[in-house]
Structure 1
Amino acid sequence: MSFKFEKLIIWQKAMDFGEEIYALSSNFPKQEMFNLTSQINRAADSIALNISEGSILQSNAEFKRFLGYAIRSLGEVVTCLYKAKRRKYVNVDCFEKLYTESFNLMNMMIAFRNQLK
């Protein structure tokens, strides 16, 4: 027995991505705990949360709306990654890896949303 969203590749990838962001942000300075650390973690978690919430709704139109929220949350994570890079909390290689993962996940979510009727 499983929920419908558990079978979605975008949900699985969003779950993995959220854990990567959490691991990264645990190394941010203590003074960022209530600022950038909290913001990036909430945004990263919001991606998978919105996918799962939207999948349970009755209509594809509502699901599309929640996928839009997930996409916007991913954009927020990318902006937080830029902030972390500028503040030297993340090196260029790590930034580029997560940026590429973000870009790929966004494209997957957009393609999935476009498939919904």
Structure 2
Amino acid sequence: MNSYKDLDIYKIALDLFYQVHPATLLLPKYELYELGSQLRRSSDSVVSNIIEGYGRKRYKADFIRFLVFSHSSCLETKGHLEKIHNLYEGLIPDNLKFINDYDILGAKIFNFIKYVEENWKT
């Protein structure tokens, strides 16, 4: 592994970010800067924390800490998507797929955290 770009969790998180970001623009105008903004920021945070954590990979505890932040942002993103589903059902066609995809990503991040905890050599 030569870069954070080699991590599957990074690739999946970035792909989901690129899918979710434009979908938030389908929300009503009054939600663009409320729930839409929160969703955009949390989905970006999943990716950004993976990158920043990898940048600190020399320090195992820092790497894990940022992966935990990424996992937390993943859960936050899923929560925002669930709110949108309940408030605006059908408005975002792929919303249930996004919820499922973030659930899968969260499990992958969690498993990677366990891997780093048990196997990471600094």
- TM-score, normalised to structure 2, is 0.87
Q: CA separation in 2, counterparts of 1:63 and 1:90?
A: 38
Q: 1:92, CA displacement in angstroms? A: 8.6
Tell me the percent identity.
25
Contact 2:35/2:80 (CA < 8 Å) preserved in 1?
Answer: yes
Structure 2's unaligned 5+ residue stretches are: 118-122
Moved more, 9-18 or 87-96: 87-96
Q: 1:39, CA displacement in angstroms? A: 0.3
Partner of 2:120 in structure 1?
none
Q: CA separation in 2, counterparts of 1:92 and 1:12?
A: 23
Q: 1:86, CA displacement in angstroms? A: 1.5
Q: CA separation in 2, counterparts of 1:64 and 1:6?
A: 17
Partner of 1:78 in structure 2?
78
Partner of 1:17 in structure 2?
16
Contact 2:26/2:91 (CA < 8 Å) preserved in 1?
Answer: no
Q: Quick check: 1:110 aligned with 2:110?
A: yes
Structure 1's unaligned 5+ residue stretches are: none
Contact 1:84/1:90 (CA < 8 Å) preserved in 2?
Answer: no
Matched residue of 1:116: which SS? Answer: helix
Q: Aligned-pair RMSD on alpha carbons?
A: 1.7
Q: 1:93, CA displacement in angstroms? A: 6.4
Query: What are the residue-to-residue correspondences of 1:80-99 with 2, within 5 Å?
Result: 80-88=80-88, 90=90, 94-99=94-99
Q: CA separation in 2, counterparts of 1:95 and 1:34?
A: 19
Matched residue of 2:94: which SS? Answer: helix
Q: CA separation in 2, counterparts of 1:90 and 1:6?
A: 33
- TM-score, normalised to structure 1, is 0.90
Q: 1:26, CA displacement in angstroms? A: 1.1
Q: Quick check: 1:7 aligned with 2:15?
A: no
Partner of 1:30 in structure 2?
29
